[in-house]
Chains A and B, each alone.
Chain A
Amino acid sequence: MSATGSPSTCVKAPPSQEETDSLRAQIFQRLHPRTYLERFLTENVRPDGRTFDEWRTVHVNVGSISTADGSALVRVGDTTIVCGIKAEIAEPELDRPDDGFLVPNIDLPAICSPKFKPGPPSEEAQVLSDRLNEVLISSGILSLPSLCIQPGRAVWTLYVDATCINYDGNVFDATLLAMVAALKNVTLPKASFDEETGRTTCSRKTRAPLQLQLSRAPYSASFGIVDASQPCVLSDPTSFEEPLLDTSLSVIVDESGNLISVSELGMGASIEEQTILLECIADAKKRGLQMQKLI
């Protein structure tokens, strides 16, 4: 990139054979991404050197942000997500006097990829936030009445905010893992409600973790299907592969291996579709077990 259009004064040595080859491959990748990917797939390998069913390594780091009540940093390959949870106090809804609030949001800022522009949340961010909200609520990992301080008067609101720092595909899996890891890391101060003043005060000394239903903790595994000469199921797609997928599939399982949600977008691969789906679910369960060990 640095060489484009810069009127550099130094004389550059002519590029070696190796350099021209890699440059040609790069240009081919930009101009014909689909053909580029298919040529790899016919050799049973993916552009980043993984086999079809290989997952990228996951790193998890929890509790590194002191301004948050709970936090986690997750790296899936190069995809990096930071999730921080801030707890605030609010009045509950009138029809649900015991229920606290769980407010998950993902931000895809312009820093993480050239795809995104500064400004309000992109469509992709809105869709991801909505899916994450649905999964966290339907999994039942956190029962909302456990956030109650005083019925009808004061409840905890957990703002679960995730920010993407590097967007290299499969952001959904990474974000869900970051949110679950951050929820496990949350400690709330002991709060007491004063009936006379109507105020809630917290103690700085005693903090307690959330009462989570850990057996219900959701773990997501995403796959992409490319209909090349034969349908190829790629686990954990990268940002290069994602726009080229014919079908994308997300399977969410909980800690005891129960299915929470399965979503399939795009055209399924004809007759074999059902066997593919079953294989993906089995694979997702294995992946879920691996991820549990990390957090």
Chain B
Amino acid sequence: MAQSAFDRRRINGPEESFSPVFDDTDNTPQATTRHGRSPADIRPIFLQPGLINQANGSAYIETEKTKIACAVYGPRQSKTTTYSEKGRLNVEVKFAPFSCTRRRAPLRDAEDRSIAVSIHQAIVSSVRLELFPKSSIDVFITVIENDGLEGCIASGSIAASAALADAGIELLGLVASCSVAVCGTQLWLDPTEDEARASKATLILACMPALGNITSVWQSGQTNIDEAARCVEICQERCADIHSIVAESLLQSAKANLL
């Protein structure tokens, strides 16, 4: 991967280096089955709030290969000089260089930012920002291992919401999020990278199951309205299950802290 400029703030390698080319790269089979998962199965979720003790709140989420750490700092004084009646919610997403199949050079690219915007959108309407004038809440997310962008955004939103709750920031409700891929006539929930690549459309839904509100829908690819509506419906159903997992893990960690 060509580096645009010599970076004296890091240890530099050679000017150019390339990911290895494998002898069988051309004939990788397209995902047509789910390797033992039924279409409505999501990957098992492991969620642990409060692992990062330096932060006000944090959460670590793992769904098979996808591994994401999230920390919340704040509410703290806003850096901007202008007065604002509402608090600001900042979301920053960072990919570890080793998190994807190709090495990600440490310079910021557009993908980090677009994921940050999606996660921001998913959680911003759940936070009672009107309670924090002149302050900002910083949500930092580090992707340690990535297996599909859709799953990454969904898991990132869940982790961010759990971390906000762990930080004791007032929320209207916990945000749960789920993604779905349209593969032929089937709807595959929580697709992996290979499955998303084989699909014709994907949809990511974020909602607050406790209130029955949707906070964000992001659909890309080709589908029709009926199918998209069906996607929203099955995602919403699954989000209710995810919500109970998040609530349970928050309860467990709060109980453990009391002891």
Interface residues of A (CB under 8 A from B): 1-2, 4-7, 64-68, 71, 78, 80, 82, 84-93, 101, 103-105, 107, 109-114, 118, 120-121, 126, 129-130, 133, 157, 159, 161, 163, 165-168, 189, 191, 199-204, 239
B142 touches A121 (CB 8 A): no
Chain B residues within an 8 Å CB radius of A86: 97-98, 103
Say whether, besides A86-B97, A113-B54, A65 and B67 are in contact (CB < 8 Å): yes
Chain A residues within an 8 Å CB radius of B259: none
Contact with A204, one of B14, B22, B96 (Cβ below 8 angstroms): B22
Select the stretch in B4-12, B180-188, B203-211 that faces chain A.
B4-12
Chain B residues within an 8 Å CB radius of A166: 51-54
**B24 contacts chain A at the CB level, 8 A cutoff:** yes
Chain A residues within an 8 Å CB radius of B76: 114
B17 touches A157 (CB 8 A): yes
B21 touches A201 (CB 8 A): yes
B90-105 to A contact mask, C-beta < 8 Å, 1/0: 0010101111110100
Residues of B11-46 at the interface with A, using a CB-CB cut-off of 8 Å, are 11-14, 16-24
A199 touches B21 (CB 8 A): yes
A103 touches B12 (CB 8 A): yes
Chain A residues within an 8 Å CB radius of B141: 111
Name which residue of chain B comes closest to A93, CB basis.
B14
B17 touches A88 (CB 8 A): yes
Chain B residues within an 8 Å CB radius of A91: 14, 16
Expressed in whole angstroms, the Cα–Cα distance for A84 and B146 within the complex equals 13
Interchain residue pairs with CB less than 8 A apart (29): A6-B170, A78-B53, A84-B97, A86-B98, A87-B20, A88-B18, A89-B17, A89-B20, A91-B14, A103-B11, A110-B73, A110-B92, A111-B52, A111-B55, A114-B54, A129-B10, A133-B11, A163-B142, A163-B144, A165-B52, A165-B142, A168-B54, A189-B20, A201-B23, A202-B21, A203-B23, A204-B22, A204-B23, A239-B54
Expressed in whole angstroms, the Cα–Cα distance for A256 and B164 within the complex equals 48
A109 touches B54 (CB 8 A): no
B156 CB, min distance to chain A CBs, angstroms: 12
Say whether, besides A104-B11, A121-B10, A159-B13, A65 and B106 are in contact (CB < 8 Å): no
